[in-house]
């Protein structure tokens, strides 16, 4: 399996506080850190830096405070495939509750801030606060549902509808269910997610821009677009 930069685990433990099933814009349970315990020292990463490697022993889990993370899975031929995306309030490394190793390699998409909790301390919640522990497990279940959608939406059908579904997915992940704005990833990242060539993604995105499915927002970053939701949904259903 390919290796990446050495990961820095220099953050101290934090604990979590009970919430009232608060949800983020995409319906993910939000689990907050408790003010009654020493919070973990936030860890800062830049784009393309590795948070942890596939196959590493799970010694801690991470909560994203700012930014986005892409999870890679390495195939037997050494090729990497993006299999999941996570943004603010999402937890990473929950597979450590049922296994010993990270199942994926976690890489920062852009500037990233995370906090972490040791596995030993997190496992104490099962005994000391079962309700809180169950809330964290619910988010793990949401990840499985996202993996199912990945297979259904991004791995079947023609390339154009798959790109349209991915744009819709990114808009909802970044800005919530009713968003008509999207911050596109690079064509290489989108191609890795769909299992197609970057040239195919670039060609389809160019078509979406020409027919005004995507409209460039000049005042935003160079990857920010407004979506014509009706046109995008039409393309996604083809």
Per-residue pLDDT tens over the stretch 107-147: 999 999 999 888 888 888 888 888 888 888 888 788 777 77
Other Cβ atoms within 10 Å of 210 Cβ, number: 9
Q: Is 90 exceeded by the pLDDT of residue 2?
A: no
Tell me the average pLDDT across 98-102.
Answer: 86
Residues 163 and 143 in one domain: no
Condensed to tens digits (0 to 9), the pLDDT of residues 184-205 reads 999 999 999 998 999 999 999 9
- Boundary of a domain, candidates 125, 150, 175: 150
- Per the structure, the complete domain to which residue 20 belongs is given by 16-150
Contact 94, 123 (CB under 8 A): no
Q: What is the CATH number of the domain that holds 181?
A: 1.10.10.10
pLDDT at residue number 99:
81
pLDDT above 90 as % of the chain: 45
| Mean pLDDT over the full length of the chain | 82
**pLDDT value of residue 1:** 46
Task: Please give the Cα distance from 94 to 25 (Å, whole number).
Answer: 21
- In terms of domains, do 121 and 30 share one? yes
User: Helix, strand, coil shares of the chain as percentages rounded to 5?
Assistant: 35, 25, 40
* Residue 9: pLDDT over 70: no
Q: Give, as one character, the DSSP assignment of residue 214.
A: E
175 backbone dihedrals φ, ψ, rounded to 5° = -130, 0
- Count of domains in the chain? 2
* For residue 10, pLDDT beyond 60: no
Report, as an integer, the average pLDDT of 34-49: 71
Task: Report the C-alpha gap between 53 and 6 in whole angstroms.
Answer: 9
Residue with tokens 């079947």: 156
Residue 30 sits in the same domain as residue 126? yes
pTM score, two decimals?
A: 0.76
Same domain, 209 and 137: no
Enter the tokens of residue 183.
Answer: 């911050």
Query: What CATH number does the domain containing 94 carry?
Result: 2.60.120.10
Q: From CA 190, how far away is CA 193, in angstroms rounded?
A: 5
Q: Could you tell me if 38 and 124 lie in one domain?
A: yes
| 47 belongs to a structural domain | yes
Q: Are residues 146 and 162 in the same domain?
A: no
Domain assignment present for residue 215? The answer is: yes
Residue 225 has pLDDT above 60, yes or no: yes
Report the pLDDT value the prediction gives residue 12, as an integer from 0 to 100.
46
Domain end call among 107, 122, 150? 150
Cα–Cα separations (whole angstroms), residue 196 to 78, 91, 157, 163, 204: 16, 28, 12, 10, 12
Whether the per-residue pLDDT at 28 is higher than 60: the answer is: no
Within a domain: 8: no
pLDDT classification of 40: cutoffs 50, 70, 90: low
């Amino acid at each position: 399996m390919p290796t990446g930069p050495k990961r820095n685990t220099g953050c101290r433990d934090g604990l979590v506080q009970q919430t009232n099933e608060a949800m983020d814009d995409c319906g993910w349970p939000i689990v907050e850190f408790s003010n009654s315990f020493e919070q973990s020292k936030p860890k800062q990463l830049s784009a393309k830096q590795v948070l942890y490697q596939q196959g590493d022993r799970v010694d801690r889990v991470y909560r994203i405070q700012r930014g986005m993370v892409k999870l890679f899975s390495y195939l037997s031929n050494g090729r990497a495939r993006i299999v999941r995306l996570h943004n603010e309030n999402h937890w990473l490394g929950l597979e450590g509750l049922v296994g010993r190793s990270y199942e994926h390699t976690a890489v920062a998409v852009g500037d990233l801030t995370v906090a972490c909790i040791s596995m030993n301390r997190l496992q104490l919640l099962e005994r000391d606060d079962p309700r809180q522990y169950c809330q964290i497990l619910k988010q793990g279940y949401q990840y499985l549902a996202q993996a199912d959608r990945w297979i259904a939406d991004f791995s079947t059908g023609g390339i154009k509808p798959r790109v349209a579904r991915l744009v819709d997915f990114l808009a909802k992940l970044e800005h919530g269910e009713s968003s008509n704005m999207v911050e596109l990833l690079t064509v290489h990242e989108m191609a890795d997610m769909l299992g197609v060539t970057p040239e195919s993604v670039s060609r389809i995105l160019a078509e979406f821009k020409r027919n005004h499915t995507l409209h460039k927002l000049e005042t935003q970053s160079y990857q920010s677009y407004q979506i014509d939701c009706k046109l995008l949904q039409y393309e996604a259903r083809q």
